[in-house]
Amino acid sequence: MLKVIRAELRKLRRPSLSLSTILTVIGTSSLVTSLLFLLIDSPQGNAREGQRISREILQLPSGVVVGFNNSATLLGVVALCIFAAQTAQEYTYGTLRNLLVRQPSRMKILFGKLAAMKIFAIVMVIFSAIVSIGLSYALAPTAKVSTALWTNSDGRLAIQQGLLNVLISTIGFGLFGMILGLLFRSPISSISIGVIWILIIEGLLSAVVKNIDKYFPGQLLSVVAVGGTEKISYKYALFGSYSILLLGLVLVAFLFKRRDVAN
């Protein structure tokens, strides 16, 4: 399986993919974090869905990672697209048959690809964390936010927890993309359906149907990224989202093993 991982990482290291992804991640993290501080006194809000994160909240030890946590859903969408495309394109380009010639075990190919894309996601999240936290320190004086508590032990712990939570969330979004890629076997279909579901359908249904967001993987993964909310606990969001993803992975793994290698 190590050979599969190395082969997949070689594809992921292509400048056309890796550089564009890193630039997208940097731009997304910079935008979310900048708006958080620059619009801190705006009555229209400075966070998602018009929410307002006050100066008092940002001055807490966890304030250093608020911008990073708030960019997690967009990072997740990027991961979803990459996982879906890298999985489904093997069918579109007909390269899966060639892979099976070198490695007959379909499960080794599947889990090798998954491991490689997880490594890519880890690098992506680390880049995002560095940019977001760096911007938070740079923009804090402009927003008159004290950073005194950011550098103590609680602040360092908040950074570690934030990094772990966003990483878990991002990989979860990526797994959702991989499930769609194996299910639809088309990069365009899997990406478009995944993005529409995460960014539009889940949001609309959650707004009109009470408590239905507790059963949507995208909503639950967003809760994981911020460490839980008053409405949904971190533990419920973590186990709920990954239970759904595990069920989906079992289903598509069975299909991957049984279906024809061509689309």
- Residue-level pLDDT, tens digit, the chain, 263 residues: 788 888 888 888 888 888 999 999 999 999 999 999 988 888 887 777 667 888 899 999 999 999 999 999 999 999 999 999 999 988 877 777 777 777 778 888 899 999 999 999 999 999 999 999 999 999 999 999 999 999 999 999 999 999 999 999 999 999 999 999 999 989 999 999 999 999 999 989 988 998 898 999 999 999 999 999 888 999 999 999 999 999 999 999 998 888 776 65
Q: At what angle do helices 106-139 and 2-12 cross, to 10 degrees?
A: 50
Are 237 and 221 a contacting pair, CB within 8 Å?
A: yes
Q: What is the total residue count of the chain? A: 263
The whole-angstrom separation of Cα 69 and Cα 65 is 6
Amino acid at position 144, single letter: K
SS3 assignment, position 116: helix
Amino acid at position 133, single letter: I
pLDDT at 263: 57
Are 211 and 193 a contacting pair, CB within 8 Å?
A: no
- The angle formed by the CA atoms of residues 31, 36 and 42, to the nearest 5 degrees, is 120
Predicted model pTM: 0.92
Residue among 60, 71, 213, 217 nearest 132 (CA)? 71
Tokens encoding 53: 């994160």
Main-chain dihedrals φ then ψ at residue 143, nearest 5 degrees: -85, 5
DSSP-derived letter for residue 52 is -
The whole-angstrom separation of Cα 263 and Cα 258 is 13
Largest distance between two CA atoms of the chain: 61
The whole-angstrom separation of Cα 97 and Cα 261 is 6
Q: Which residues of 78-104 are buried (b: 16+ CB within 10 A; e: fewer)?
A: bbbbbbbbbbbbbbeeeebeebeeeee
The whole-angstrom separation of Cα 16 and Cα 143 is 37
